[in-house]
Structure 1
Amino acid sequence: MASPRDDNWLLGRSLRLRTATERDVDRLVEIRSTPEVRARWRGDDLPAEVRDALLDADLHVLAVEDSFGTVIGAIQWAAESDPDYHHASVDLYLDPSVHSRGFGSDAAQTLCRHLFADQGFHRITIDPAADNFAAIRCYEKVGFQRVGVMRRYERGADGSWHDGILMDLLPEDLSDPLA
């Protein structure tokens, strides 16, 4: 099933995804500056990092908007270009004020449906920190399966290495609340 669309929007149950633009930078920086998000997405110069992500030709950054049109986060995807390993990877962050309200799973379902149906991917990956239990639960609701632990995968704010979880999603695993 293709993703419901309204012009340049991808429509979820309770949100819309659209290409993020320069006008979103301040709001995305505000969200990335919250302690909860900053602990996972760190960065020294958040305005520059958000702008650089928007300009990165290999990265597709989408603003996540609630039903009132308020930007509540971002979800992004990139493609593995080697045809023998062709798949998409995704990542997202949301304003902590909307956590635990279903927006994360709605955004991930909406984007993944689009990546399968409209972009032709056969597999999607995501790699949350092993101790990010809320994110892991969110992705499991969408249908992502745990593939394994990536030991000492990313450096934490304290300078030490932390494990990550590799998760993947195949089209037949995607939960489909719109069906």
Structure 2
Amino acid sequence: MELRGDTVVLRSVVAGDEEVLARIVREPEVAAWWSPPEDFSEMLAVVFENEVIGAVQFEEETDPEFLSAGIDIFLTARQHGKGLGTDTVRTLARWLVRERGHHRLTIDPAAANTAAIRSYSKIGFKPVGIMRAYGRDHRTGLWQDALLMDLLAEELV
């Protein structure tokens, strides 16, 4: 699978990517929001200028009455603030809506992750509400709140 955004390419994880992704997810700026997954193979590698800079994943609800999808993303800290995360999420969102037929997408950043929230808002995601004690911080063991955001297909920028 390969999806092309304005600046990034999303593609299936291939041999050699897992080591790079494992290193990225351990960066302090990334580890603040992500716990290291056991398996990267179900994710899509985010590639910028021929370099793997992170990963994005999605989950789908395929029941026709609730057809929707959720998105999660992480990028290496040295590429933060350049619009690459926005392009990544927008690219995947467009594919989920146009090709997979989803009418609603969700994303649930930590409530304190203001940079991620700002990025998702640029695409059209809107706050739904705070999910209290939603995820456990793998570094401290403490629960942290998340902001549930959603995007309807017709709102996609």
Normalising by structure 2, report the TM-score: 0.93
What pairs with 1:1-150 in structure 2 (closer than 5 Å)? 8-43=1-36, 49=38, 52-54=39-41, 60-66=42-48, 68-150=49-131
CA RMSD in angstroms, aligned pairs only: 1.3
**Which residue does 1:3 correspond to in 2?**
none
Q: How far is 1:70 from its partner?
A: 0.4
The one-letter code matched in structure 2 to 1:111 is L
Q: How far is 1:173 from its partner?
A: 1.3
What 5-or-longer segments of structure 2 have no aligned partner? none
**Which residue does 1:163 correspond to in 2?**
145
CA offsets per residue over residues 20-39 of structure 1, 9 Å max, x none?
12321011011111011112
State the aligned residue count.
156
Aligned counterparts of 1:81 and 1:10: Cα–Cα separation in 2: 21
The one-letter code matched in structure 1 to 2:88 is A
Aligned counterparts of 1:33 and 1:154: Cα–Cα separation in 2: 18
Normalising by structure 1, report the TM-score: 0.82
Aligned counterparts of 2:40 and 2:7: Cα–Cα separation in 1: 25
Q: Secondary structure at the residue paired with 2:102? A: coil
CA offsets per residue over residues 43-79 of structure 1, 9 Å max, x none?
4xx6xx1xx241xxxxx4111101x210011011011
**Which residue does 1:57 correspond to in 2?**
none
Q: How far is 1:102 from its partner?
A: 0.4
The answer to which structure has the higher helix fraction is 1
Q: How far is 1:152 from its partner?
A: 1.0
